[in-house]
Chain A
Amino acid sequence: MNTPTNNDEQRTTHNETVVSFSGIEKSFFGVKVLKGVSFDVGAGSIVGLVGENGAGKSTLMNLLGGILQPDAGELRVNGQTYAPRNPNAARAAGIAFVHQELNLFPNLSIAENLHLTDFPRVGEKIVRGSSFVVRGDNEPASAPQRTTNNKQQTGGGLPWIDRRTLRSRTTELLRQVGLDHAPDTLVECLPAGERQLVEIAKALGADARVIILDEPTTSLSARECERLFTLMHQLRKRAIAIIYISHALGDVLRICDDLVVLRDGERVGGGETKEFTHDRLVSLMVGRQLNQLYPERSCWGAQAPSPVAVGALADHPDGARTAMIQNHVAKDSSAQTRTARARFAAAGAAALPILSVRSLTQPGIAHDISFDLAAGEVLGISGLMGAGRSELARILFGLDPCTSGEIQLAGQLLDGNPRQRIQRGLAFLTEDRRQEGLCMEASIADNIALVTLTQHSRTPARWLDFAGIKSAVSQMREAVRLSPKATDSQPVRTLSGGNQQKVVLGKWLLAEPKVLILDEPTRGIDVGAKFEIYQLIHQLADRGAGVLVISSEIEELIGICDRLLVMRHGELTGEFRREEFDREKILGSALHASKPLAADVRRL
């Protein structure tokens, strides 16, 4: 650190640099995904790393975490050249990577998870401290002392685990992250938010100086998020640097000290958070002015079905995305909105329910749920985590049972297994894209064709018509505007989150559903892809399908829905039409408390 580097000017003024990236490049299969990225991370600062999916955030962090090695450029940790060959080397250098899919073993206890690589042993000599790369003279005297030093040099000992030390160390680590569970608690017993905290405790146990949090809030409730943010601020006081990756820009702007914006593998912006606004961040991320997050529908609300072929969706020529967004922005005049809403009011009464649910009940999950979904309507279901929204969707799709109640599709009783319901015109995009939406190792074409394979098979022997499948797939690829760089035979695993979700959506759109249920359709997806998915939802509704959207983001539901239902504890507690949309009121019916909590207001 004492040797002057050419990065000195770029350093953040308020802090010592712990990690510096300079000119980092990385290619996969000859495609450059990082094109010379440089920035510094100061000790005791929270740096927000934002960018669309595929911008190179994960690759950059995988380089820091030792999972990948850069092709060019230099990484420095505490001023020393740092070239980890594997994740263990990164850990030894004080870098902890908390992945989006947590790396905990649910079947083991908290204590075992925290000490998996260095169990305290009976008779072990404990040498405190001095486990971390160059410290000492680099650290200014004023730097806050870390309260504990959990990493210990082991010295001899018997090959038996010292249970007592294990427990006391675990308790201490849990205390630091604000948990008071018994060390022997199995991780599978913890809710998602607390698992995240255990991961951070694990990082503290490894004496991490830098903690990378990759999309930590996607599966957390509002309260759990607050808890995480409070902890992050505490860690900052202990001179621990945090690199925070998230698509929730509101959170990023609120909690980060500095921001780095990546686009197409380049650093397109950065600096102190106060220099940024939400809009500026978005336009930096997508590389153009994006004034509107939600598309305006030509006609809000239910309408008579108009037979438009799927192919019509594909009419927009390549690169029309920007033009379309601008077009929509232009149309967003209040007069137009008013007429559209008036039309909704008129059409709402006359529209036929395509899906009607009566007194649906499953003890402990759903209680006496009744609602109608009209053809051409986008109906949102709001509510807090655990309110039973996803469970309701699973019952509708026949994945879970219900003890009483009735579902009708287009006036006829809907029952049977998912396969039979799909044949009747139901489609379901689940909240878990990886486990339930896609075959990750299978090709894009195979995934898109999966639902509609039956239609392309001819008896005898259910011979497949591959030419027909191929043309249907390529038509759908255009309709959902899947990245043209990807080939049909490429495994979906290699796509970004947004493109993966487009594959799932395309798979269902090919089946031309009468009712499409979408559970958190834009989770973990970048702004541009979100907009395109909203457009696809509207186009499907314009064709006369009913769309049921479940989302934790109230803004999103307000942005795209004609009508909103609110669930709480398995019951429907509110219904709002578009002209009655009001955040506070919607939240009020979602919450048990009569007044919404400040934290929940912010989150939803």
Chain B
Amino acid sequence: MTTVSPTTNNERQTTNKLVASEYFVLFLCLVVFAAFAPFTPDFASSGNLWNIFTACLPLLLLATGQTLVLITGGIDLSVTASIGLSSVVGALVMGGDAGWLRGSPAAMPVAIAAMLATGALVGLFNGACIAWLRMPAFMVTLTTTMFFNGFAVWLAKRNVDAESIYNLPPAFLALGTQAWLAAFLAVVAALGAHLLLARTLLGRWLYAVGHNPRTSLISGVPVGGVTVSAYMLNGAFAAMTAILLTARLETGSPNHGKALLLDVIGAAVIGGTSLFGGKGKVMWTVFGVLFLSLLGNGLNLLNLSDFMITIIKGAVILIAALLDVWRNKFVRGS
């Protein structure tokens, strides 16, 4: 469950070592940075870098949560639905013209608690279907995406007769305007996930279940419970993302974060987390997120059209994935 350190001979060249290293994606980030910096003067400015950092926080949270699920050998496609539902629930609790606790000082803490609980409940539902009813994760989370997304729209329309809910309390909106606060929360959450994976019993169990659920079951690992907790944690991470997005966009809406799904899985996989389970680290995912964000931002600053950015981003992700396959082969094969 610890990663295999690359077994490089002394005579092997440093480039080979670099390719096999777990910091390879960080190196790729530097390459992207060095490639863009000469062409876009703004790119390397501290303002822009802070911009990139704050903009990637939702992706960072989601990809970190997804990493936990991927390590167990599962996948969670329903994170966008979790975000939408959490956002609507939170907004319905604290704000708008029809908020259940509007104006009350307890509104914000209760709303945040409700959002986290919503995400965790969606995760519980997914996890229960997967672990106890033994349904395939892909199927379950694909269909619960539809279900919870529709449910979020229905909930919003029923209460405020619109999809978006405005007039959120200013204390909550501060989370969006004060970027350092959001950054602090996101970094603490990612650090927590890292410690969970690297230092705790549950972390070891997540890896074990991803490696081989049968062996884990026979060795006394509560496989069902471990799987469910991975999805619940991921749901909670989606809810945290919902908090950030809701505050930043000053609305509760079922449509927040909808474009993020592919980036989320892309970032985790580029980082080196395996889709087959048993392999992955929060740090790797952070590198993956950084890579995608640098690339997107750089292309933006080049004033390329949207479709051009999409084309290039897709191609670069594909190449990165290819490099990943290649270096895995390299590390293992020779």
A residues lining the B interface (CB < 8 Å): 29-30, 397, 399, 418-419, 422-423, 428, 430, 435-443, 445-446, 449-451, 453-454, 457, 461-464, 489-491, 507
User: CA separation between A439 and B199, bound complex, in Å?
Assistant: 19
- Residue of chain B at shortest CB distance from A491: B4
Contact, CB under 8 Å: A450 / B278? no
Contact, CB under 8 Å: B220 / A419? yes
A457 to chain B, nearest CB (A): 4
Most buried by B among A29, A436, A445: A436
A513 to chain B, nearest CB (A): 11
Contact, CB under 8 Å: B212 / A438? yes
Most buried by B among A419, A442, A446: A442
Contacts of A30 in B (CB 8 A): 9
User: CA separation between A438 and B215, bound complex, in Å?
Assistant: 6
Contacts of B133 in A (CB 8 A): none
Q: Number of A-B pairs whose CB atoms are under 8 Å?
A: 87
Tell which of B108-116, B117-125, B201-209, B248-256 binds the partner.
Answer: B201-209
Contact of A450 among B4, B214, B219, B222 (CB under 8 A): B219
User: CA separation between A423 and B218, bound complex, in Å?
Assistant: 12
User: CA separation between A436 and B217, bound complex, in Å?
Assistant: 9
Contacts of A439 in B (CB 8 A): 1, 208, 211-212, 215-216, 278
User: CA separation between A397 and B9, bound complex, in Å?
Assistant: 46
User: CA separation between A453 and B226, bound complex, in Å?
Assistant: 14
Interface residues of B in 172-228 (CB under 8 A from A): 196, 199-205, 207-208, 211-212, 214-222
User: CA separation between A437 and B212, bound complex, in Å?
Assistant: 9
B315 to chain A, nearest CB (A): 30
Known: A440-B212, A442-B278. A453 touches B218 (CB 8 A): no
B residues lining the A interface (CB < 8 Å): 1-2, 4-5, 7, 9, 196, 199-205, 207-208, 211-212, 214-222, 278-279
Contact, CB under 8 Å: B204 / A436? no
Contact, CB under 8 Å: A441 / B279? yes
B8 to chain A, nearest CB (A): 10
Contacts of A462 in B (CB 8 A): 200-202
Contacts of A440 in B (CB 8 A): 211-212
Known: A418-B220, A464-B200. A489 touches B5 (CB 8 A): yes
User: CA separation between A436 and B261, bound complex, in Å?
Assistant: 34
Known: A446-B204, A463-B200, A464-B200. A419 touches B222 (CB 8 A): yes
* The 9 nearest A-B residue pairs measured at CB: A439-B211, A462-B201, A422-B220, A457-B201, A446-B1, A419-B220, A439-B212, A450-B219, A451-B219
- Residue of chain B at shortest CB distance from A487: B5
Contacts of B1 in A (CB 8 A): 439, 442-443, 446
Contacts of A435 in B (CB 8 A): 212, 214-215
Q: A446-B207, A462-B200 are in contact. List 12 more A-B contacts (CB 8 A).
A: A30-B9, A419-B221, A428-B218, A435-B214, A439-B211, A440-B211, A441-B211, A442-B211, A446-B204, A446-B208, A450-B216, A507-B219
Contact of B215 among A422, A437, A491 (CB under 8 A): A437
- Interface of chain A, main secondary structure: mixed
Known: A450-B221, A453-B205, A463-B199. A443 touches B216 (CB 8 A): no
Contact of B4 among A399, A423, A449, A489 (CB under 8 A): A489
Contact of A418 among B7, B204, B208, B218 (CB under 8 A): B218
Contacts of A507 in B (CB 8 A): 219
User: CA separation between A438 and B1, bound complex, in Å?
Assistant: 12
B203 to chain A, nearest CB (A): 8
User: CA separation between A440 and B213, bound complex, in Å?
Assistant: 12
- Residue of chain B at shortest CB distance from A460: B200
Contact, CB under 8 Å: A443 / B220? no
Contacts of A399 in B (CB 8 A): 217-218
Contact, CB under 8 Å: A29 / B5? no
Most buried by A among B9, B219, B278: B219
Contacts of B204 in A (CB 8 A): 446, 449-450, 453, 464
Contact of A436 among B200, B215, B220 (CB under 8 A): B215
Known: A30-B9, A441-B278. A418 touches B200 (CB 8 A): no
User: CA separation between A457 and B220, bound complex, in Å?
Assistant: 15
Contacts of B278 in A (CB 8 A): 439, 441-442
Contacts of A428 in B (CB 8 A): 218
Most buried by B among A436, A450, A461: A450
Contacts of A461 in B (CB 8 A): 196, 200
User: CA separation between A440 and B204, bound complex, in Å?
Assistant: 15
Contact, CB under 8 Å: B215 / A464? no
User: CA separation between A491 and B208, bound complex, in Å?
Assistant: 13
24 residue pairs A–B, Cβ–Cβ below 8 Å:
A29-B7, A30-B9, A399-B217, A418-B217, A419-B221, A430-B218, A435-B214, A435-B215, A436-B218, A438-B215, A439-B215, A440-B212, A442-B207, A442-B208, A443-B2, A446-B1, A446-B207, A446-B208, A449-B204, A450-B221, A457-B201, A462-B200, A489-B2, A489-B4
User: CA separation between A129 and B265, bound complex, in Å?
Assistant: 52
Contact, CB under 8 Å: B201 / A453? yes
Contacts of B211 in A (CB 8 A): 439-442
User: CA separation between A435 and B219, bound complex, in Å?
Assistant: 12
User: CA separation between A48 and B16, bound complex, in Å?
Assistant: 42
B281 to chain A, nearest CB (A): 14
A449 to chain B, nearest CB (A): 8
Contacts of A454 in B (CB 8 A): 201, 220
Contacts of B218 in A (CB 8 A): 397, 399, 418, 428, 430, 436-437
Contacts of B203 in A (CB 8 A): 464
User: CA separation between A461 and B208, bound complex, in Å?
Assistant: 18
A380 to chain B, nearest CB (A): 22
B334 to chain A, nearest CB (A): 8
Contacts of B199 in A (CB 8 A): 463-464
User: CA separation between A437 and B208, bound complex, in Å?
Assistant: 12
Known: A422-B220, A457-B200, A461-B200. A436 touches B214 (CB 8 A): yes
User: CA separation between A437 and B219, bound complex, in Å?
Assistant: 8
Contacts of A449 in B (CB 8 A): 204
User: CA separation between A29 and B331, bound complex, in Å?
Assistant: 11
